Amino acid sequence: MIKIYNTLTRKKEVFQPLEQGRVKMYVCGPTVYNYIHVGNGRSVVSFDTIRRYLEYRGYEVDYVMNFTDVDDKIIRTAKELKTSAPEIADRFIEAFNKDTAALNVQPATLNPRVMDHIEDIIAFIQVLVDKGYAYMANNDVYYRTRKFKHYGQLSDQSIDELEVGASQRTGEEQKIKEDPLDFALWKAAKENEIAWDSPWGLGRPGWHIECSVMATKHLGETIDIHGGGQDLTFPHHENEIAQSEAKTGKTFANYWMHNGYVTIGEEEEKMSKSLGNFVTVHEMVQKIDPQVLRFFLATTQYRRPIKYSETTLKEAETNLQKLRTALENAQFRLQNSKEGFPEGTDHAILAEFEQRFVQEMDDDFNAANGITVVYELAKWLNTYSESASIDIELLTAAVEKFKEWLAIFGIYFVGEELLDEEIEQLIEERIQARQARDFARSDEIRDVLKEKGIILEDTAQGTRWRRDA
């Protein structure tokens, strides 16, 4: 029984999807004006891991993640680079897809783009205008925030608290709004900016309306799960609720999920482009094994902050190598074993591991506790692989379960690349030296191979090798 911490109610709730065996899930995607940083990558990986676990538990997941391809930042970047907003968006959508593929993120069921939904957005806003939830001011269209009685519930703020903050804002926009809390649904066109015709004149959508439109169009008026980074809780998700529920009269999302920040530096500041303290996924996957970064991001409970540092990345690399070694040990034993099925083998042990793994992951997708069970299975694999006799069926099942769990965290271990001819010859020469009891030559070859990054392990089943991490 899966339980989800619902930001809206601030408690864990038993997950009950709208449709049995099916999950409608919307996650706010990137604004595509630059490469995503590791903090953005955390959100993508967190919800990919959640999606994978839901699928592991038997659900079919309709997973929609948008691309915001119309935005002030995109327009500004286009001007700086002397190109168009669509060209900037296309460039960084392509980069996003490549970088997330390197992190083994599954493609979404659908990646809707704002530019493809302008007519839908205009129609949505028109309904809000007709219902009195929106009004026109100087060719902009604004949402009447106070008219929505539940405004502030998601972020746990009262309308009075929000008014204090809003009243301190300055600028031309504040002068034309009915209320400081009101937010833009449609923005009048500015000179040399991309724009579309509408009942209110040339302009473009506001940020918040875009997700409301794309989520409801592709998943329905009520969805199961809406996810995104913690920083989107207010105002973005708060505004999404106000817009969507005002239009439909129905609950917009039954479960709101928000991942924690990635922090950086001694002060553990939130990683963000605005603070200038970010590291992009694009550069990281070229410097380190992308699997290490994926493992680092996927194995902390999604609501908890993650401290990004060389130390924490190194810890992730070390732990990942331990898991890889356990799998290789087990696979090597299977390849070199002809044992049958010893009497008294306890096949219930796998069921016990399974029960514990599901118990931990069902508790709000607690990846930190889930990966602990994976570590314990790795330890068991190491021990059992060294047994004098093994049950091939049991070890095979354990290996498959181990790989299945690793896949939930987006980890896939592929076989080592073929050794070049020189190394193959050296390994064979060492085997012969050991057989001839020429241990001096055997040790010499071991040292030569170690310098080449090849680690040898002598087991009861023969000599095996691995590349040094």
Q: Indicate which CATH number applies to the domain containing 383.
A: 1.20.120
Digit-coded pLDDT (tens) for 312-354:
999 999 999 999 999 999 998 988 776 565 555 677 999 999 9
Structural domain boundaries, residue 353:
321-395
Domain count, the chain: 3
% pLDDT > 70, the chain = 93
- Binding residue per annotation — 28? yes
**Residue 94 in contact with residue 272, Cβ under 8 Å?**
no
Q: For residue 100, give the CATH number of its domain.
A: 3.40.50.620
Residue 346 lies in a domain: yes
Token digits of residue 420: 């070049």
Residue 2, helix vs strand vs coil: coil
Whether residue 162 is contained in a domain is answered as yes
Regarding whether 325 and 250 lie in a shared domain, the answer is: no
Is 80 annotated as ligand-binding? no
Residues 336 and 439 in one domain: no
99 and 232 share one domain: yes
- What is the distance between the alpha carbons of residues 468 and 454, in angstroms, rounded to a whole number? 6
Mean pLDDT of 287-307: 97
Q: Does 221 count as an annotated binding residue?
A: no
Annotated binding residue 236? yes
42 assigned to some structural domain: yes
Q: Tell me the per-residue pLDDT of 51-69, one tens digit each, with 9 for 90 and over.
A: 999 999 999 999 999 999 9
β-bridge pairing 223-229 and 22-27: parallel
| Vertex 421: Cα angle to 415 and 426 (nearest 5) | 95
Residues 11 and 129 placed together within one structural domain of the fold: yes
Task: Give the pLDDT band of residue 135 (cuts 50, 70, 90).
Answer: very high
Whether the pTM exceeds 0.85: the reply is: yes
- Structural domain contains residue 213: yes
Q: Is residue 83 part of a domain?
A: yes
Q: Which residue reads 């095979």 in tokens? A: 396
The span from the CA of 50 to the CA of 466, in Å, is 32
When pLDDT is cut at 50, 70 and 90, the band that residue 168 belongs to is: low
pLDDT tens per residue across span 442-456: 888 888 888 777 888
Q: What was the pLDDT predicted at 438?
A: 82
How far is it, in rounded angstroms, from Cα 132 to Cα 53?
Answer: 42
379 and 237 fall within a common domain: no
User: Residue 31's beta-bridge partner residues?
Assistant: 68
167 and 206 assigned to the same domain:
yes
Residue 169's pLDDT band (boundaries 50, 70, 90)? Answer: low
The answer to whether the annotation marks 218 as part of a ligand binding site is no
